[in-house]
């Protein structure tokens, strides 16, 4: 059983599993990109609404 546990512990190193901080950073980047896309879309809608008022 100890050998199996050692194998599991070394498995992460062998398959290059990302660390928690790397996963968190990737999620923050994706969140920021998603919010930026939302804000750009809102700005386009506001500009279009202003254009139709003229």
- The residue among 39, 37, 17 whose CA lies nearest residue 29 is 37
Radius of gyration of the chain (CA): 23
Residue 46 pLDDT level (bands cut at 50, 70, 90): very high
Q: Does the structure show a pLDDT above 60 at 35?
A: yes
Which pTM was predicted?
A: 0.55
Q: Does the structure show a pLDDT above 60 at 12?
A: no
Structure token pair of residue 24: 């968190």
Give the chain's mean pLDDT: 83
Predicted local confidence at residue 53, as pLDDT = 62
Q: How many Å apart are CA 44 and CA 54, to the nearest integer? A: 16
């Amino acid at each position: 059983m100890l050998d199996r546990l050692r194998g599991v512990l070394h498995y992460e190193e062998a398959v290059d599993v990302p660390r928690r901080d790397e996963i968190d950073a990737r999620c923050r980047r994706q969140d920021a990109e998603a919010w930026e896309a939302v804000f750009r879309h809102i700005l386009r809608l506001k500009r279009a609404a202003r254009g139709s008022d003229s």
